[in-house]
Structure 1
Amino acid sequence: MDRFDARDSGLIISPLTTGDCAAAAARAAAASLLFKFDYEYVTIQHEGNTRTISVYKDAEKCSRDEAHFYAVMEGGMAPDIRDKADIHVSVSRVTDFRKVDSRAYMDVRYGNLFLYAGEGIGIAAVDAPPTRKGQANIEKDARKLIFDAVAGVCEISDGAQPLLIKVSCPEGIMIAAKQSNALSAFMGGIGIMGNYGTISDVHQRDIAGSIENQIREQIELGVKSILVSPGDYCADKIYEGIHLSLKTAVNCFNFPGSAIDAACDAGVENLLLVGNVGKLVKMAAGIMNTNSYASDGRREIFAAHTAIVGGTSSQVRTVMGCITCDEILALLNNWGLRDRVMASIMGKINEAVARRCNGRLKFGVALFSEEFGLLGATVDTRNVLIKVSQEQYALSLKLK
Structure 2
Amino acid sequence: MKLPARTRVPEALPGIVGTARVERRTRALLARLRPGDLAVLDHVDMDRSTAQALLDAGVVAVVNASPMISGRYPNLGPEVLAGAGIPLVEGIGTRGLAAIRDGSTVRLHDGKVFVGDDEEPVAAGREIDAESVQTQMAAARTGLATQLETFTHNSAEFLRREQDLLLHGRGLPRPSTRMTDRPVVVVVKGHDHAAELAAIRPFLREQGPVLIGVEGGADVLREAGYRPDIVVVDASADAADQPSARVLKGAKDVVVRLDRGAERGSTDGLERLGIRPLRLESGATTEDAALILADAGDASVIIGVGMHATLDEFLDRQRSGLASTYLTRLKVGPRLVDAAAVPRLYSGRVRPRHLLLVMLAGFVALAAAVGVTPVGHEWAGQLTDTLTPIVQGLLP
Alignment TM-score, normalising by the size of structure 2: 0.29
Alignment TM-score, normalising by the size of structure 1: 0.29
Structure whose CA Rg is larger: 2
